[in-house]
């Protein structure tokens, strides 16, 4: 069998490997505190589940329009008007199979051999691995705490490669950075001036703490905004996302959507219309995440981790382990086996700073997070000996 070059290049999703190992240990009776996965521990709000049941009973079990049902596209358009004060016509909203599906469609429509995608390092790993499918150039832009982990226009000025597409994640996975609006405006100006395009992944946009959030959809109709129901609405398994694209991109994306996915999942779409109305449930979850972050960040610092920039969005802490003088892969493997705490190694997010950083997810209960920190507190002195 001839395994493709691409299959050799694609990197494992370490967080999933860690999770699988952790589950094996649990099956053997070991107790593990999960701080690796970026999945809300909350169940989907009840009214959303009820809508899905109604839709199933009403026989809404068929393929839908490839761009999403009109009611949901209109509801997303209203959501932008009400929450973000931006007018986005439903015609520019495309419903996708998770936000992951949006990246597949965008890269298929916009990238090919000879074009370049720029991504942040540290950054969300799937961008790179999805882009491998279309054979484009991939350029990692290392970001540090000096810019609060933002990619800035100065980063672009220093590049000697033309960038066709740049993705930024706002708020960021893994650093929790919420971009300054001015930074995004400048990135768009720089890229646009040269014929490139900015994609902003706003999947964590409703999970921000002590700060406001402005959607990049307001900056320009030429910016592509990707979002989804997985995180803020606790709907990871429903596999539903959306994107806002310039009008001229709708048809090219639609042709790929028809062929690759046929349609987004039907029941999920009917249910998602009501998800957007669950403001109290989303706010309740957001407050709990904030409480966990407020506990976790100082606690990690007191344990010897470095957290130079306070994360103000998403549910992650990107922490330096320089103090422990150990590679992050060894660190997380030993933390799992010796302390019973699952954490993600920096290697999931790129290569820059990968060995000296780990990511903690606080999408777990405060009680479990406290227990995880207790365990680390008992284990770390042995590691440092
Ligand atoms: C930054 C970022 N974008 C996209 C996704 C994918 O989300 P979805 O479930 O909508 O495919 C994730 C999931 O962890 C993420 O962290």
Where residue 147 sits, what CATH number does that domain have?
3.40.640.10
Task: Answer whether 0.95 is exceeded by the pTM.
Answer: yes
Q: Which of 278, 311, 331 is the last residue of a domain?
A: 278
Q: Are 247 and 221 in contact (CB under 8 A)?
A: yes
Q: What is the pLDDT of residues 204-259, one digit of tens each?
A: 999 999 889 999 999 999 999 999 999 999 999 999 999 999 999 999 999 999 99
Q: Characterize the bridge pairing of strands 93-96 and 344-345.
A: unpaired
Angle between the N-to-C axes of helices 266-275 and 70-79, in degrees from 0 to 180, rounded to the nearest 10:
30
**Residue whose CA is at the smallest distance from ligand 1 atom 7:** 99
How many domains would you assign to the chain? Answer: 2
Q: Which atom of ligand 1 is nearest to the CA of 173?
A: 1
Considering the domain architecture, whether residues 122 and 110 belong to the same structural domain is answered as yes
**Ligand 1 neighbours (beta carbon < 6 A):** 38, 98-100, 124, 169, 173, 201, 203, 228, 230, 236, 241
pLDDT computed for residue 49 by the predictor = 98
Give the span between the Cα atoms of 146 and 153, in whole angstroms: 14
Main-chain dihedrals φ then ψ at residue 11, nearest 5 degrees: -90, 150
Give the span between the Cα atoms of 54 and 303, in whole angstroms: 49
pLDDT computed for residue 5 by the predictor = 87
Nearest to 91 by CA among 119, 65, 126: 65
Considering the domain architecture, whether residues 159 and 39 belong to the same structural domain is answered as no
Tell which one of 170, 230, 318 to mutate to probe ligand 1, the residue whose CB is within 8 A of the most ligand atoms: 230
* Domain span at 323: 5-43+280-384
* 295 CB burial (10 A radius; 0-12, 13-18, 19+): middle
Considering the domain architecture, whether residues 248 and 298 belong to the same structural domain is answered as no
Main-chain dihedrals φ then ψ at residue 166, nearest 5 degrees: -120, 130
DSSP string of 249-270, one letter each residue? HHHHHHHHHHHHTSSS-HHHHH
* CA-only gyration radius of the chain, Å: 21
Considering the domain architecture, whether residues 195 and 238 belong to the same structural domain is answered as yes
Would you put residue 196 in left (φ > 0), alpha (ψ -120 to 50) or beta? beta
All residues at 6 or more sequence positions from 195 whose CB lies less than 8 Å from its CB, including other chains: 164
> From first to last of its 385 residues, what are the pLDDT tens digits of the chain?
888 888 888 888 889 998 999 999 999 999 999 999 989 999 999 999 999 999 999 999 999 999 999 999 999 999 999 999 999 999 999 999 999 999 999 999 999 999 999 999 999 999 999 999 999 999 999 999 999 999 999 999 999 889 999 999 999 999 999 999 999 999 999 999 889 999 999 999 999 998 899 999 999 999 999 999 999 999 999 999 999 999 999 999 999 999 999 999 999 999 999 999 999 999 999 999 999 999 999 999 999 999 999 999 999 999 999 999 999 999 999 999 999 999 999 999 999 999 999 999 999 999 999 999 999 999 999 887 6
**Could you tell me how many residues make up the chain?**
385
* 195 CB burial (10 A radius; 0-12, 13-18, 19+): exposed
Greatest distance between any 2 Cα atoms in the chain: 64
Q: Helix, strand, or coil here: 355? A: coil
Considering the domain architecture, whether residues 31 and 86 belong to the same structural domain is answered as no
Give the span between the Cα atoms of 328 and 356, in whole angstroms: 6
Considering the domain architecture, whether residues 274 and 286 belong to the same structural domain is answered as no
Q: Are 334 and 382 in contact (CB under 8 A)?
A: no
Give the span between the Cα atoms of 305 and 300, in whole angstroms: 5
**Residue whose CA is at the smallest distance from ligand 1 atom 13:** 38
Considering the domain architecture, whether residues 99 and 32 belong to the same structural domain is answered as no
pLDDT computed for residue 13 by the predictor = 86
Considering the domain architecture, whether residues 68 and 101 belong to the same structural domain is answered as yes
**How many whole angstroms from 377 Cα to the centroid of ligand 1?**
31
CATH code of the domain containing 357 = 3.90.1150.10
Q: What is the pLDDT of residues 42-97, one digit of tens each?
A: 999 999 999 999 999 999 999 999 999 999 999 999 999 999 999 999 999 999 99
């Amino acid at each position: 069998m001839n395994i493709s070059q691409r299959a050799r290049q694609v990197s494992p999703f370490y967080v999933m490997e860690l999770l699988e190992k952790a589950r094996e240990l649990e099956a053997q009776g070991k107790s593990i505190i999960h701080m690796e996965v970026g999945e809300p521990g909350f169940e989907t709000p009840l009214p959303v589940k009820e809508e899905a049941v109604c839709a199933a009973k009403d026989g809404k079990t068929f393929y839908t329009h490839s761009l999403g049902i009109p009611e949901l596209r209109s509801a997303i358009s209203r959501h932008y008007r009400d929450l973000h004060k931006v007018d986005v016509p439903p015609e520019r909203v495309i419903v996708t199979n998770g936000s992951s599906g949006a990246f597949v469609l965008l890269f298929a429509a916009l990238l090919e051999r000879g074009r370049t995608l720029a991504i942040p390092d540290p950054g969300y790993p799937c961008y790179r691995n999805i882009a491998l499918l279309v054979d484009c150039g991939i350029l990692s832009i290392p970001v540090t705490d000096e810019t609060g982990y933002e990619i800035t226009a100065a980063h672009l000025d220093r590049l000697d490669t033309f960038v066709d597409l740049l993705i930024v994640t706002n708020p960021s996975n893994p650093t929790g950075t919420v971009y300054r609006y001015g930074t995004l405006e400048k990135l768009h100006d720089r890229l646009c001036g040269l014929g490139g395009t900015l994609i902003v992944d706003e999947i964590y946009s409703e999970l921000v703490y002590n700060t406001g959030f402005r959607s990049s959809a307001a900056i320009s109709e030429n910016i592509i905004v990707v979002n989804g129901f997985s995180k803020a609405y606790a709907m990871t398994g429903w596999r539903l996302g959306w994107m806002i694209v310039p009008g001229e991109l709708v048809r090219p994306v639609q042709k790929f959507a028809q062929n690759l996915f046929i349609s987004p999942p039907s029941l999920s779409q009917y249910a998602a219309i009501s998800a957007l109305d669950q403001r109290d449930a989303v706010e309740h979850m957001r407050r709990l995440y904030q409480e966990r972050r407020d506990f976790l960040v100082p606690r990690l610092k007191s344990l010897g981790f470095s957290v130079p920039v306070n994360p103000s969005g998403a549910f992650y802490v990107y922490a330096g382990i320089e103090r422990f003088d150990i590679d992050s892969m060894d660190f997380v493997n030993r933390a799992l086996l010796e302390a019973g705490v699952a954490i993600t190694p920096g290697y999931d997010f790129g290569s820059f700073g990968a060995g000296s950083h780990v990511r903690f997810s606080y999408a777990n209960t405060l009680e479990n997070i406290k227990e995880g920190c207790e365990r680390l507190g008992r284990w770390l002195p042995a590691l440092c000996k």
